[in-house]
Amino acid sequence: MRTEIAALLHKRSGSVPRETLIEIGLLHEFAQNHRLDVWTVPLVATVIAVVAASWAGPVPMLVWWLLFSSALILSHRDYSALIATVGRLDDPRPWQRRMLWLRLGTASLWSSLILFAWPGASDPARNVLLLVLSCAMALRTAGSTAFAKALVMQMLPPLLALLALCLSTAEPVYGGMAVVAVVYAAVLGRVGLRTAGRMREMLRLQFDLQDATAAAETANDAKSRFLATLSHEIRTPMTGILGLTRVLLESDLTARQRDYLRTVHDSGEGLLALLNEVLDLSKVEAGRLDLEAAAFDPRSLVEGVVRLMSARAEEKGLYLTADMTGSLPLRLIGDALRLRQVLTNLVANAVKFTETGGVTITLRAEPADGDRTRLGIMVSDTGIGIAKAAQGRLFTAFAQADPGIARRYGGSGLGLTICQRLIQAMGGEMGFHSSPDQGSDFWFTVTLAQAAETDGECLEVLPPLPALSVLVAEDVAANRMVLTALLEGAGHRVTCVSSGPAAVAAVERGDVDLVLMDLHLEGSDGLDAARAIRALPDPARAAVPIIATTAGVMAADVDHCRAAGMDGFVPKPVRPSQLFAEILAVWTRGRAGTDPVQTVLPLPETMEDVLASLHLPPAELAELLDLSGTALRQAGLDLMAAWPARDAAALRRAAHMLTGTAANFGLPQLAEEARCFHAALQQQDWDGAERLYRTLPETLARSLTELERWRPLPAPI
């Protein structure tokens, strides 16, 4: 029985009795078997008619051939109609009766060959007809095994024809052949009926197998939902426990109390890591894993993981390096968060299972089809390696290469399983090479599209602008200070506001040549403020150029800005050359007769270059760093205060402030985590947001320390 038909019928198990579905399935198989004979049977009939015409004459055989071929054509039409309707058939009995009489009719026409080619006294002709009818009985019976009644009924006409041929002569040999014909028909019938019973049982087993498969899938889905719910419900109080123990660890404690609390905190972190892995696995198995398609820099991704894992490697006295030589694309389109998750897991495993030496991350890229790039990353270590006998189960869930390793190093055995499935979900491959005591190489490859290059070694811009009166609408004081220093350094006059209504009022008062509008402001967001400006009654003031400044870089963010009436878009972190290029483009756009001559300005590569371009004296630079540090700390406090109540609006505001400020001050890891946190909130992905929430405080603390390295040294006394 064809598996696809069994699956189609099985879907109707709830509305049609099982035995009825079995009858329909067998009827379909019967029709399918005979429909396949639509070309071979007429060909055989033609050969027989030509042979028989040598003793019976051409006219009788032509009449027989036409009658039999017409019956075959009508039969083929009915077989096709049955096959087309089998998926909607509720009662097989009308079709069974139709097929029964159809098979009886075609068998009778085939057996009527002896009436058109009666051999008379010719033994060779009689023998030919005996052979033809015997073979036809066997072949046609084999095709009807799926329908037992038709199998029996269609045997009667050829059996009667065989007996007529054998008994129409007094030769003793033909009398014996008559007995053989009866026995032959009985044997064929018995074999056919037993085959029909096996086919019925096979179809019943297929239905049972599909029942078991559906039950297993339902159970697996239920398990995944249970794990997801359980993980979420446990992680919520665990987050509170970890947060409070972290706070207590910073208070005055005795040595024993601190040791107890640190043990509680470490145990909670281990339990939380296990729950996160179970949740990720359940999402992958349930098919609910959503992958993001956004532009990212593969170099920055690897560098971020190196920075993240360096402290852990240094604690064990290991080196952690990255090899990123060769030609690499600046930006690719993919899910940077999931790629970072995979790479972080591989590096963490490498550090955990390495006692001496170190870990190397190798990043390579090569062209693929079209404008796509095949990105390959390998993590090599000098650790304990993996035994050959254990390598086959390395990517199996809840499995460790060696039980002794699990006891010595810990771990759930889920990390590599999740990594492999994440890479497979991206259409990539993952594998490893390892030998005991000689280290391991874990690698993965993904093929990604290249993003449009917005940054490079140089950028074409227009000649310097005249001094403009620029309104900066920005809610973060440190960001206002950066933009003010950049614009005033270029000779422009700057006015700053922190709210949407204040920006609208400033434009309405006049003396504003251009607006730099952050999308997240106090009072109303930048989009609402832009719409309000475009609705001002004074046409000149309503047409003031507006450039959006935001950490959102998705195509939808740009579309929202355009729809609100904005003229330009500058992503954060704001780079001076990008900012001035966009100002020049917006300012000159639409002015008749403008034919600017383009020149080339270098792009700064790092945020140190941005700070250098501000030309701030030490006192003002220290003030800027104080403002930015205060803004980051306040955003972190706001985020932690809003998290227990799941205040989405307050969390998004805090994440926005973290993203923009961190990006402007060269803190890419904090900016990326805050951006992903903000995106998870927008998508109402509380599981993803909670996973990021657990790491944000530590990332924020490291970022604040990193920020301090830019503070100018005190002047000598």
Cβ-Cβ contacts under 8 Å for 432 (sequence gap 6 or more): 386, 391, 394, 440, 441, 442, 443
CA dihedral 689, 694, 696, 697 (to 10 degrees): 140
Higher local confidence (pLDDT), 486 or 402:
486
Which residue shows structure tokens 């005033």? Answer: 488
- Rounded Cα gap, residues 464 and 490, in angstroms: 9
Q: How many residues appear in the chain?
A: 717
Predicted local confidence at residue 445, as pLDDT: 94
Compute the average pLDDT of residues 430-453: 86
Cβ-Cβ contacts under 8 Å for 521 (sequence gap 6 or more): 473, 474, 475, 498, 499, 500, 503, 529
For the four alpha carbons of 643, 645, 648 and 649, in that order, the dihedral sign comes to negative
Cis peptide before 573 (omega within 30 of 0): yes
Percent of the chain with pLDDT over 90: 11
**Whether the Cβ atoms of residue 676 and residue 337 lie closer than 8 Å to each other:** yes
Decide if pLDDT at 593 tops 50: no
- Rounded Cα gap, residues 75 and 73, in angstroms: 5
Predicted local confidence at residue 137, as pLDDT: 84
Q: Give the 3-state secondary structure of residue 441.
A: strand
Q: Give the 3-state secondary structure of residue 378.
A: strand
Predicted local confidence at residue 607, as pLDDT: 47
Decide if pLDDT at 448 tops 70: yes
439: left (phi over 0), alpha (psi -120 to 50) or beta: left
Predicted local confidence at residue 274, as pLDDT: 64
What is the Cα 360 distance to its own chain's centre?
29
Compute the average pLDDT of residues 661-681: 77
Query: What DSSP element (H or E) covers 227?
Result: helix 172-249
- Rounded Cα gap, residues 370 and 362, in angstroms: 24
Residues 682-706: b if buried by 16+ CB within 10 A, e if exposed: eeebebbbbbbbbebeebbebbbeb
- Rounded Cα gap, residues 18 and 12, in angstroms: 9
Compute the average pLDDT of residues 318-325: 89
- Rounded Cα gap, residues 586 and 570, in angstroms: 11
- Rounded Cα gap, residues 699 and 678, in angstroms: 15
Per-residue pLDDT of 292-312, as tens digits, reads 788 888 888 888 788 778 878
List the structure tokens of 98.
């139709």
Per-residue pLDDT of 110-158, as tens digits, reads 899 999 988 776 788 888 899 888 888 887 777 787 888 888 888 889 9
Per-residue pLDDT of 406-422, as tens digits, reads 444 444 445 687 788 88
Predicted local confidence at residue 411, as pLDDT: 46
DSSP state of 287: T
Q: Compute the C-alpha angle 349/434/400, nearest 5°.
A: 50
List the structure tokens of 544.
């003031």
Per-residue pLDDT of 31-68, as tens digits, reads 888 777 777 888 888 999 999 998 888 999 999 999 99
Query: What DSSP element (H or E) covers 459?
Result: strand 458-461
List the structure tokens of 230.
């359980």
Per-residue pLDDT of 216-273, as tens digits, reads 877 777 776 676 566 556 655 665 576 567 657 767 778 788 778 877 876 776 676 6
Pick the range with the lowest mean pLDDT from 62-66, 243-247, 649-653, 708-712.
708-712
Compute the average pLDDT of residues 164-176: 86
Domains and CATH numbers, the chain: 3-215 (no CATH), 227-286 (1.10.287.130), 294-450 (3.30.565.10), 464-606 (3.40.50.2300), 618-708 (1.20.120)
What is the Cα 305 distance to its own chain's centre?
23
- Rounded Cα gap, residues 259 and 706, in angstroms: 28
List the structure tokens of 212.
């078991």
The crossing angle, in degrees rounded to 10, of helices 18-35 and 3-10 is 150
Q: Report the range out of 333-347, 390-404, 694-708 with the highest average pLDDT.
A: 333-347
**Whether the Cβ atoms of residue 114 and residue 164 lie closer than 8 Å to each other:** yes
- Rounded Cα gap, residues 252 and 270, in angstroms: 25
Decide if pLDDT at 288 tops 60: no
Decide if pLDDT at 663 tops 80: no
Side chain identity at 26, as an amino acid letter? L
Predicted local confidence at residue 243, as pLDDT: 58
- Rounded Cα gap, residues 451 and 331, in angstroms: 5
